[in-house]
Amino acid sequence: MDDCRPLGFLIGLPFAFISLIFSLVGLVIWLLGSIVSCICPCCSCCVGIVNMAMSIVRLPLEVVRWFVDQIPC
């Protein structure tokens, strides 16, 4: 219970919602990049796009964690 900071969680929720929308865009980019890399495996640029999309998909969790860490005990 030492890391329980509900205020940081509540403040971060609107920003997490916005980043959730970004993560849905990242999911679409990831799907398209995966399909293109399966069709043409020599496309090395698709690997970078897929990795970027995966970091966008993880964005909501990172935003909430950042806000929770910013609130002092």
> In this predicted structure, what is the pLDDT of residue 44?
66
Instruction: Determine the Cα–Cα distance for residues 21 and 42; give it in Å rounded to an integer.
Output: 31
**Cβ atoms within 10 Å, residue 53:** 20
pLDDT tens per residue, range 11-58: 777 877 887 788 788 888 888 877 877 777 676 666 777 777 778 778
Nearest CA among 44, 55, 60, 47 for reference residue 9: 60
> In this predicted structure, what is the pLDDT of residue 32?
83
**Cβ atoms within 10 Å, residue 29:** 17
Instruction: Determine the Cα–Cα distance for residues 17 and 3; give it in Å rounded to an integer.
Output: 22
